[in-house]
Amino acid sequence: MKPIRVVESTTVVLPNANVDTDQIIPARFLTVTTRHGLGQRLFADWRYDKEGNPRPDFVLNQENTREGEVLVAGDNFGCGSSREHAPWALLDYGFRAVVSTRFADIFRSNALKNGLLTVVVDEETHRALLAEPGIEVAIDLEAQTLRLPNGKEVTFPIDAFARFCLLNGKDELDFLLEQESSIAEHEKTLPLS
């Protein structure tokens, strides 16, 4: 994975709270056996009508949003199913970060493992971001800050290990495999090994 330090982009705003992973990528698209090409199915049921034509009122179908790499979403984004296809679809579409007041646990874990930043901000900052779609923001992973166009910076929490892996382009699996001797030692203590 390529190291990630800064994401600078305009925002795309999807204000709905509790957006579940069935909305991010409907289950009928999950019979794939690779992780590629899901971007065209992202938010499929909100984005296209029954005939498959783009719905003009959905945010991703509006002209000025195509360049946005930062999705500003409502509270509790990514709830429901554990499907990693949700962050795969968001990344494949072109998003590199999601900003919200809260993320569902499994979604956040999946997103960070794939290099999709999950940025938790306070309610006041969130309101400001929701109110002004399309503004330019800068997310600095090293400093753990999100900067607004007016220069205001807010900090965001992120797990130290996930941050380390993302900043250095490290794979968590490498770290796990390096723990072989501790794992083998633990297995000796198991009742049912």
Partner 1 sequence: MLSAASTGKGDEKPSKAKATGSRTLFEKVWNAHLVRPENQDTPALLYVDLHLVHEVTSPQAFDVLRQRDLRVRRPERTVATMDHSTPTSPPGADGRIVFLDRQAESQVRQLERNCQEFGIRLYPLGSDRQGIVHVIGPELGLTQPGMTIVCGDSHTSTHGAFGALAFGIGTTEVGHVLASQCLLQRKPQTFAIRLDGALPVGVTAKDLILAVIAKIGVHGGTGHVLEYRGSCVRSLSMEERMTVCNMSIEAGARAGMMAPDDVTFEYLADRPLAPQGPAWDEALARWRRLPSDSESLYDREVSLEVSTLEPMITYGTNPGMAIPIGSPLPDTERDPAVEKALQYMGLKPGQPLLGHPVDVVFIGSCTNARISDLRLAANVFKGRKVASGVRVLVVSGSQQVKKQAETEGLDRIFREAGAEWREPGCSMCIAMNGDRLEPGQYAVSTSNRNFEGRQGSGGRTFLASPLTAAATAVTGRITDAREILGRS
Catalog residues that contact partner 1 under the rule CB under 8 A: 16-18, 20, 22-23, 26-28, 30-35, 45, 50, 75-76, 79-84, 102, 104-106, 109-110, 113-114, 159-161, 164, 172-173, 175-177, 179-180, 182-183, 185-187, 190-192
Strands (E), 27-102: 70-73, 97-100
CB of 152 to partner 1, least distance (A): 26
CB of 1 to partner 1, least distance (A): 11
Side chain identity at residue 174, one-letter code = D
If 0-12 CB within 10 Å is exposed, 13-18 middle and 19+ buried, where does residue 80 land?
middle
> Closer to partner 1 at the Cβ: 123 or 187?
187
Three-state SS for 100? strand
CB of 155 to partner 1, least distance (A): 17
CB of 66 to partner 1, least distance (A): 24
Tracing tokens 């199915």 back to the chain, one arrives at 41
Q: How far apart are CA 168 and CA 133, in angstroms?
A: 31
> Closer to partner 1 at the Cβ: 149 or 169?
169
CB atoms within 10 A of CB 85: 23
> Closer to partner 1 at the Cβ: 9 or 83?
83
Q: How far apart are CA 122 and CA 170, in angstroms?
A: 29
> Closer to partner 1 at the Cβ: 1 or 64?
1
> Closer to partner 1 at the Cβ: 6 or 30?
30
